[in-house]
Chains A and B, each alone.
Chain A
Amino acid sequence: MTSVLAAVGNWFFSLLRYLGGLSYLFCDGLWWIGAGPLLGKGRIRREETFHQMTRISIRSFGIVSLVIFFVGMILAFQMAYVLKTLGVVGYVADIIGVAMVREMGPLLVGMVMTGYAGAAIAAEIGTMVVSEEVIALESSALNPIRFLVVPRVLAAMIMMPMVTMVAIYVGIFGGFVVAVWILDLDRIEYLRRTVEALTHTDLISGLIKAEIFGVLIACIACFEGLSVTGGAEGVGRATTNAVVRSIIAIIVSDLVFTAIFYYFL
């Protein structure tokens, strides 16, 4: 019994330590984005930020579109299966529209980005730690948070809502393809119902989620990368941890914000 309690206690304190470290990294990053440049402590690396924005958006656009297009189609089939028994297949448009904008768009983009960008960031920074590049930065009076974390977090903050926006259109188009060409719904009616079903609140809640997921993915990946110890094995472990922990963080934050939006938006 004592050992179980000790194990639970250890796990709890490890979790607190992890969350503390992550929060510190996030706050430090925010300081370097906001106050740091204003106080002349160091500029934001614009070129590196643009490079990371390209990496997060343009290079991942194909895979994000592919995934969300098929999910839109799957969702249309699944909804039609239930709705046709009630004789209201036309509601497929409403459901897909709302689901894509409020939930599926940001969530799926978050999941894909976790594997695509999060793992790459963790591996890249982890390799830099192992090859002494990060300690070289520190000893050259270059803050690794400003130098490495800020461009990646900033890029994720800017690009995640944009990628999500595009993904939502592609997802809705996936549903549209099934609804029009397989379920024989009228294309104009489908689009009209989609537009009528959606409100600004839906869009805002979806984009806020995308923003939060982006920050979580970038911060967790950077934190895992910077925490690497033990060479190549450590880099592998950090990459896996970045993906697994980002997915957990996305799901938990999704639940929290969905509940908040349900009551307050």
Chain B
Amino acid sequence: MALFEAGRQPGPPAASHRASDGVLIRIEGLRKSFGDLLVLDGVNLEVRKGETVVIMGGSGCGKSTVLRHLIGVLEPDDGKVELFDQDLSQLDEDGLSALRRRFGILFQSGALYNSMTVGENVALPLREHTNLAEDIIQIIVKIKLELVGLRDFESLMPAQLSGGMRKRVGLARAIALDPEIVFYDEPTTGLDPIVAGVIDKLINDLKISLGITSLVVTHDMESAFRIADRMVMLYEGRVVASGTPEEIKKTSNPLVRQFVQGEPDGPIPLRLSKVDYEADLLSFKPLK
């Protein structure tokens, strides 16, 4: 049973186990502060080849900050972030650039380049990072757009697309270079249930058909249970639970139970908690 209780995090794996353990993503003791605000307080995480791991947690718990460390746009205050057994902090600009060609990322908003058409968005990584002929690039663009069900939308501008379509184009762009890892930042947030289901199916299809390793940051629990091989919960900058979806569902950990079941009252304090609200109202003292 991989699940563990709040406050107890798995330590980094022993060095001798590392050489060929199939781990593509490894985070050890990651700490990050912004000014006085401690966002990550010693996060440990491993993702193996072909796995889909979901990082869940409430808003502001540090999920996206973990993701930004993994794509190399933030540097840890302490700890280590490794992709493909390479420590990101030890890489120079060229090394980081080479590494970034091996993963794709789907941003929360899709982050499409608004001055380019859908087709140009998907073609951009191919044009910039490969020497492929233009007609080959056009074929790959069509294949990638077909994978996300948007082959006929190649000539549209991002502004003409719905939120769900933008995310699907973002996904097509993320997999344009056939990456080994795809990171997803809130892939289903703000989408209706049908489109969210389509995105989840795409994530699962990519894992099955292309063997892609996925790390998904989300607080959409329905989606998380549909796609995850393993789930990790972040709370106050630390990993407080980790396990398979079944283990997470059955856990007795009150933090996880409250989050998964969406309960307002529990160990995770919420502004709208009934208890807090009552206490706040009853503490009112009229002016004399």
Contacts and interface: CB of A to CB of B under 8 A. Distances in A.
Interface string A117-158: 000000000001001110110111111000000000000000
A202 B98 CA distance: 50
Best-surrounded residue of A133, A135, A136 (most CB of chain B within 10 A)? A136
Given A139-B72, A141-B129, A132 B109 contact: yes
B10 to A, nearest CB: 27
Contact of B128 (A42, A128, A135, A136): A42
B124 interface: yes
B97 A139 contact: no
Interface stretch (B99-107, B146-154, B235-243): B99-107
B71 interface: yes
Given A139-B72, A139-B105, A131 B100 contact: no
Given A132-B107, A132-B109, A140 B73 contact: no
Best-surrounded residue of B96, B128, B173 (most CB of chain A within 10 A)? B128
Contacts of A131: 109, 111, 114
Contact of B111 (A133, A141, A142, A143): A133
Interface in B111-136: 111-114, 124-125, 128-129
B71 A139 contact: yes
Contact of B113 (A133, A138, A139, A141): A133
Interface string B60-73: 00000000100111
Best-surrounded residue of A128, A133, A141 (most CB of chain B within 10 A)? A141
Chain B interface mostly: mixed
A228 to B, nearest CB: 15
Nearest to A48: B115
A159 to B, nearest CB: 19
Contacts, number: 51
B121 to A, nearest CB: 10
Contact of A141 (B68, B97, B112, B173): B97
B108 interface: yes
A59 to B, nearest CB: 15
Contacts of A132: 107-109, 111
A138 B104 CA distance: 11
Contact of B100 (A42, A128, A133, A139): A139
Given A133-B111, A135-B73, A142 B128 contact: yes
Best-surrounded residue of B68, B111, B125 (most CB of chain A within 10 A)? B111
Interface of B: 68, 71-73, 96-98, 100-101, 103-105, 107-109, 111-114, 124-125, 128-129, 173
Given A141-B97, A143-B97, 8 more contacts: A131-B111, A133-B111, A136-B107, A138-B72, A139-B72, A140-B125, A141-B101, A141-B128
30 contacts: A42-B128, A128-B113, A131-B109, A131-B114, A132-B107, A132-B108, A132-B109, A132-B111, A133-B111, A133-B113, A135-B68, A135-B71, A135-B107, A136-B107, A136-B111, A138-B73, A139-B72, A139-B100, A139-B105, A140-B100, A140-B104, A140-B105, A140-B125, A140-B128, A140-B173, A141-B100, A141-B101, A142-B124, A142-B125, A142-B128
